[in-house]
Amino acid sequence: MTRPINQQWRLAAHPVGLVRPGDFQLTTEPVPELGDGEVLVASRFLSLDPTNRIWASGAESYLPPVAIGEVMRGVGVGVVEESRNAAFPVGTVVEGVLGWQRYSRSDGRFLSRAVSYRDVPLERYLGIARHILLTAYFGLTEVAPGRSGETLVVSAAAGAVGSLAGQIGRLRGMRVVGIAGGPAKCRWLAELGFDAAIDYKSDDVDAALRRLCPSGIDVYFDNVGGAILDAVLAQMNVFGRVAICGLISGYNATAAQPGPANFANILMHRLRVQGFIVSDHYGRIEAALAEVVPWVDAGMLRWKMDVVEGIERMPVAVNKLFDGSNDGKLVVRV
């Protein structure tokens, strides 16, 4: 039987700075026959996330680095086309670590049935897939919880995770201040119900935080690190909580990044600073979904998609996450 032809982006070189086209190589080969317990997933949409840059870097992180020659690691959503695994019959819509490729063969690990939302078409699904929405949720639930009336600051607040984190903070009754780049993104934060937005490209972030967080900052959901983390640390209240979700300001750095100069505030204000990745918390995923799915179904969360057409554009498109040019959750339609 003729096998489907796969296209796969393989890592050719660990990027230095922004990704360059030669860092990845597009290869073509037939999909192998499935073994017992395996499924073949046809990718529909592949997610581009800042963490792709970490995985490509060659450095140890929270996962082993992608090796030269390997298919690039990435999350996506697709449909089971062949199955020798009863848990995933043909036609099942799944999400998971599909890789940067048209077809992925899986034994079911790192694969889940897509969450059952009521009215979310596949084209918009990755905006609230597990690794996005539950990152925002667990960050504000398990890692850096906040109470009604407390002040939450979110960086990269117009990003896929940040915009949801801010909305969850509002649902919890927090005062939410978002930090984003440019007036369009800041206007969008206002539409989402954020109490205030800071444009780090034109505002004095220290002064804006003082003005917009008159009672100080209780919770910081950080996606960026760097100078903005330092500015927020300086204004954290006693017993404040910081969720380190991402440190995107350093992901393309070619030199060692300095640590936060205001680190001593962790002692002086007895802050709790905790790094996390979403899968650490999947032990509590059922309770999490029971809370977030009704929010989505009731239209209480909003999100935007930025859809790039064609798998061949993946390596170039990933840079949009770092130059601020993406507008909504960045995905590639395969």
Where along the sequence are the contacts to its own copies (CB under 8 A)?
A: 60-62, 225, 230, 238-239, 244-247, 250, 256-277, 280
Distances (CA, A) of 176 to 39, 135, 329: 43, 17, 20
Nearer to its own copies, 22 or 259 (CB): 259
The answer to whether residues 234 and 265 touch, using CB atoms and an 8 Å cutoff, is yes
Nearer to its own copies, 243 or 334 (CB): 243
Nearer to its own copies, 4 or 259 (CB): 259
**Residue 83 DSSP label:** E
C-alpha Rg value of the chain to the nearest Å: 20
Nearer to its own copies, 227 or 316 (CB): 227
Nearer to its own copies, 58 or 182 (CB): 58
Q: Rounded to the nearest whole angstrom, what is the least distance from the CB of residue 283 to its own copies in the complex?
A: 13
Helix/strand/coil for 171: helix
**Residue 34 DSSP label:** P
CA distance 136 to 325: 21
Nearer to its own copies, 82 or 222 (CB): 222
Q: Rounded to the nearest whole angstrom, what is the least distance from the CB of residue 148 to its own copies in the complex?
A: 23
Q: Rounded to the nearest whole angstrom, what is the least distance from the CB of residue 173 to its own copies in the complex?
A: 25
Pairing of strands 272-275, 236-244: parallel
Q: Rounded to the nearest whole angstrom, what is the least distance from the CB of residue 163 to its own copies in the complex?
A: 20
> What distance lies between CA 129 and its chain's CA centroid?
10
Q: Rounded to the nearest whole angstrom, what is the least distance from the CB of residue 138 to its own copies in the complex?
A: 11
Q: Rounded to the nearest whole angstrom, what is the least distance from the CB of residue 315 to its own copies in the complex?
A: 23
Please give the structure tokens belonging to residue 59: 């450095």
Beta bridge partners of 101: 8
CA distance 155 to 150: 17
CA distance 334 to 332: 6
Please give the structure tokens belonging to residue 51: 């963490």
**Residue 2 DSSP label:** P
Q: Rounded to the nearest whole angstrom, what is the least distance from the CB of residue 83 to its own copies in the complex?
A: 34
Helix/strand/coil for 169: helix
Please report how the helices 183-191 and 160-171 are oriented relative to each other, as an axis angle in degrees rounded to 10.
Answer: 30
Beta bridge partners of 39: 83, 106
Nearer to its own copies, 247 or 288 (CB): 247
Nearer to its own copies, 90 or 238 (CB): 238
Q: Rounded to the nearest whole angstrom, what is the least distance from the CB of residue 38 to its own copies in the complex?
A: 29
